[in-house]
Chains A and B, each alone.
Chain A
Amino acid sequence: MQDVPSISVAIIGSGGAGALTTGDILLEAASAAGWQGLATRTLGPQIRGGEAAALLRIATHPVECMPERYDLVIGIDWLNAQRFGAEILAGPESLVIGDADAGEPPPILRDGGARVLNIELKELAAGIPGGRPNMIALGVAARLLGFAPEQIDVVIEKRLAEKGESAIEASRAGIRAGYRAASWIDYTCKLAPPPAIEGKRWLLSGNEATGLGAIRGGIRFAAAYPITPATEILEWMSPSLVKAGGILLQAEDELAAINMIIGASYGGTPSLTATSGPGLSLMIEALGLSTAAEIPVVVIDVMRGGPSTGIPTKSEQTDLNIAIYGMHGDAPHLVLAPQSVADCLFTTQWATYLAETLQSPAIVLSDQFMGQARAAIPRPADVAFIGARAVTREIGGTYKRYAATANGVSPMALPGTRGGQHTAEGLTHTEHGTPTSSAEEHVKQLDKRRDKLDGHNYGDHWATVEGDGDLVVLTWGSITGAAREAIAQARGEGIAARLVAPRLLSPVRPKEMQAALVGAKRILIVEQSHSAQFHRYLRAHYELPAEVQVFSRSGPLPITAAEIKNAMLQGS
C-alpha cells in the first residue's frame, strides 16, 4: 500500500439513486477524521430525475480545485452517465466500479485505459432488509479510501437520526457489505493519515461562508429574491440573521431587493442582497443610486454561465464587465472577488467593512463553483473587519450630508437625528444634498466619490501574491486554487512561478500591482471567460511589464490545474 496525500472520487447515479448523499457522507466522515476536502455536485437541469454526480477530493492538505481525472469512479447506475461528457474523466491509473446489472460505464470513462471492475451493488442491497445500492457503494468507497466502517457509522447515525434505528441499521449493514465486497480489490493507494489539528474542522459551502462573513461583518438586513446559484446564501442567512437580531425580507423582484437594502442602509442598518448575473443586471440602476447617494450596500453575485439565462447551475467568470462597468455615468464603487470557499467568508466580511467605511456599494463576485462547493477546512481565523460607518449624532449648525472632507467620507446623519434632516439624492447635488446642474458642484462630488475609494489604504488584502519566479500566473476568483496547484506541480518540474490574484478588482491598485509584477518576464493570464474579460480589464488599468500569454476559456467546465500547468509549460 502506498500512502497518497490526496484521493479524488466521483460517485454517479441517476436522480434519486443517492449519489449526492453518498458524497456528502464521505466528505463529512473525512472532515470528522481530520482530513480536508472539497466536494461539488453536478446534475442535469431537471429538478428531480436525470443524472447526478458527487465529485470529491479528500486530502491531507487544503483542497481548492478538482482534478482533471478522478482516481475512483463509482457508478450506482450508469443510466444517464454519458451526459456528463468531459466533466468526469478517468485515466489509466483510475479505478471505475459499477454494477454490471445496471449497465456499462460510458465509453468516455473506459477509453482512458481505466481499470473497470464489477460489484453487484443491487444484488448486495437486496440481501439487506431496507438496503440501498448507494450504501453498498459508500462501503466500497470507504474501504478503498482507507476509512474504518465505524468512521462512516458516526455520520450515518447523525444524518439518519430522525429516520429511526431500522434505517440506520440498514445503512450500517449496507456499508459493511460494500466494505467486504471491496476487500478483494488490490487497490494500492491509501490516503495518508490526516495531520493532527487544533479544534474542529469546519464543513461548509462557499455560499454559507459568504453568509457568515456578512453577519460577522455587521450585516443585519438582507432582502432576498431567489436565484440559482445564490439562493443558499439567503436561505442560510434567513434564520441566522434573525438569531443575530437582524431581519430578512423577501422581495418581489431584484429591483425591489436592491432598493430595499438601500432603504434599510439609509436607516443605519448594514444591508446585503445576493443574486446571480440576471439579478445583477436588474440591480445596476439602483447600484448607481447607492454610489451617488453614498449609501453603503453589499451585493453578492454568485456568477453562473451567461449571457441571459445561460447555464444557471455551472460556473463562469463573466460578470466582471458588468460589475465594474455596468453603471451609467462615472460611478466608482467597490468590486471584490473571493478566491476559495474559506475566502468567501473573509472577502464578504471585508467587503461589508469597506462598504460601510467608504459609504459605497460593494459587489462581491463569487461563483457557482465555490458558492455551491462544500469544503472541509480548518476554522477560518477571526478578522477584525466589522462595519464602522461614520455617523454624526450631534449636529451643530447646518448639516451638510455630502460635505467635502479630507478623505471624501462625509459623516452620515441617520433618520431620527435632530437637525440632520436631508434628502439622500440621486440627482447631482451640492454638499447639502440639494439638486444642482452646476458644473463645479458636479465635479466636486465626482472627485469626492472617486478620492474616497482611491485614497483608502486596503493593505495586503487587495491581492494574493505568493512565491517568486519570473513567470507570473495572474488570475482571479475561484481559479486561484487551481492556479496555486498548477504552480506547485510546475515547481516539481523545476519551474518557479509566482501567483498574483487580485481580491480587490475596483478600485484598481496600480502601484501595488506594479510591485507584485516586478521582475516578471512572462505573465500568464488565466480566467474563465470566452471574451477574456479579465485580460481586457488588466490591459485597461495596469501596466503589464512583460510578455503576456492568455489562457481564457468559457465555462461550464471548471478550469483545472492540469490545463494551467500545460499553459505554463507551453510558453516556456
Chain B
Amino acid sequence: MQCPAPVYKQADFKSDVKPIWCPGCGDYHVLLSFTRAFAQLKLAPEEIAVISGIGCSSRIPAYTNCYGFHGVHGRSLALAAGLKVTRPDLTVVVASGDGDGYSIGGNHFLHACRRNIDMTYVVMDNHIYGMTKGQPSPTTEPEFDTALSPGGTGVRPFHPLVVALASGANFIARCFSGNPNETANVLAEAIRHPGFSFVEILSPCVTFRPDESKWKEQVHAAPVAATTDPGKAARRLMTDDGFNLGILYRGDRKPFQPASGASGYDLAQLERDFEQ
C-alpha cells in the first residue's frame, strides 16, 4: 500500500528558530509570505531549497523548515544555479537583500537573469545595509545621510527591475512586505513561472530607515496587467514611481538546463581519447 502524500499547512514550513530581526522588521512578513506561498503550491518542505547570502534578509533559510543554505555574501545566485541544474527536481528559491544582491552580488544578478535557470529570486529591498548598522546600499537615495556618507552619497540609486529586464529575467514583480497575502500570491506565481523569476519586495527597515514606515501609504497596485512585451515593460518600469506593485512582466523564454548524457555510460570509453 502506498502512503498518501502528506498535506502541509503553512506552519509546517516554518522552523522553530527564533529570528534575529528587529521587532517590526518587514522581513517577518516576507517569511510569512514564503510559507504561505509554499503551502498554496502544495509543496513538501523537503522539496524546497532556500538559498541565501549575507545580511538580515539572508537569515531567512533557517527560519523555514525547508532545506537551506546560508552561504557567503553576494553569491547565493551562483550557488543556487549549481544546485538547480544538478537537482532540477527541487524548487529553488533564492533570498537576498539590496546590499547582498545588487552590490556585492551585482554581477551574478546579471548572469542569473541572462541564464534563465528555473528558480525564483527574492530580494528584500530596504534601501540600507541593516546588519552592519546603516550604510548606504545601491538603492539608497542619494541625499540619505549616514555615518559612512555624511550628507548622502550623491550617487543615483540602482534600478533593479530595469536591470533584470535588460538582462533577460523571465518574470518581474514588485511586492510590499506589508501585504503578505498579495506577496504570497505573487511568490507562488513566480515559483510556478518557468525560468528565472525576479521578485523585489519592498521590506522596510524600522531601525535604520524609520522613514520607510510611510511606504505603506505610497505603495499601490499596478494599474495595468503584466505585459509579455519587453519593450512595453521597459517603458513602464523606467517611468513608474517605484511603488507600483504586482507582476509587471512575464516572459516566455525557455528555461536553461545544460545538456547531460544518460547514466550507465561505460567510463572506459573515455580512455579511447588517449589510446595510441
Contacts and interface: CB of A to CB of B under 8 A. Distances in A.
A404 interface: no
Contacts of A260: 78-79, 81-82
A244 B265 contact: yes
B96 to A, nearest CB: 13
Interface in A199-221: 200-204, 208, 212, 215-216, 220-221
A402 interface: no
Contacts of A433: 62
Chain A interface: which size bin?
35 or more
Interface stretch (A62-70, A106-114, A418-426): A418-426
Interface string A256-270: 110111111111110
Contacts of A203: 274, 276
Contacts of B110: 252
Contact of B62 (A208, A288, A434): A434
Interface in A251-294: 251-253, 255-257, 259-269, 271, 285-286, 288-289, 293
B44 interface: yes
A478 interface: no
Most buried by B among A220, A271, A415: A415
B271 interface: yes
Most buried by B among A236, A264, A266, A271: A266
B275 A200 contact: yes
Given A200-B275, A245-B260, A248-B258, A418 B70 contact: no
A263 B117 CA distance: 14
B1 interface: no
Chain B interface: which size bin?
35 or more
A419 B84 CA distance: 21
A249 B261 contact: no
Contacts of B205: none
A285 B79 CA distance: 13
A201 B271 CA distance: 11
B257 to A, nearest CB: 9
Contact of B263 (A245, A266, A288, A416): A245
B86 interface: yes
Interface in B235-276: 258-265, 267, 269-271, 273-276
Given A202-B274, A260-B78, A416 B90 contact: yes
Given A28-B276, A264-B85, A259 B72 contact: yes
Contact of B261 (A202, A245, A266, A285): A245
Interface stretch (B22-30, B45-53, B170-178, B188-196): B45-53
Contacts of A261: 82
B199 to A, nearest CB: 20
A483 interface: no
Contacts of A266: 69, 79, 83
A544 B72 CA distance: 39
B75 interface: yes
A424 B72 contact: no
Contacts of B260: 242, 245-247
Interface string A320-352: 000000000000000000000000000000000
Contacts of A202: 271, 274-276
A228 B204 CA distance: 46
Contacts of A243: 261, 265, 269-270
Nearest to A199: B275
Contact of B83 (A212, A267, A285, A289): A267
A249 B82 contact: yes
B101 interface: no
A152 to B, nearest CB: 14
B80 A263 contact: yes
A425 B66 CA distance: 14
B46 A415 contact: yes
A32 B275 CA distance: 9
B71 A289 contact: yes
B45 A212 contact: no
Contacts of B87: 264, 267-269, 415-416
Contacts of A289: 71-72
Nearest to A222: B82
Contacts of B66: 421
A37 B142 CA distance: 65
B46 A263 contact: no
B90 to A, nearest CB: 5
B265 to A, nearest CB: 5
B125 to A, nearest CB: 22
A255 B84 CA distance: 17
Contacts of A86: none
B68 interface: yes
Interface in A79-138: none
Given A202-B275, A286-B72, A421 B82 contact: no
Given A221-B86, A415-B90, A419-B46, A262 B261 contact: no
Contacts of B264: 245
Interface in B29-55: 44-47, 49, 51
13 contacts: A31-B276, A249-B258, A253-B107, A256-B81, A259-B75, A262-B71, A263-B84, A267-B86, A268-B86, A286-B75, A416-B46, A426-B72, A427-B70
Interface of B: 17, 44-47, 49, 51, 61-62, 65-72, 74-76, 78-87, 89-90, 107-108, 110-111, 258-265, 267, 269-271, 273-276
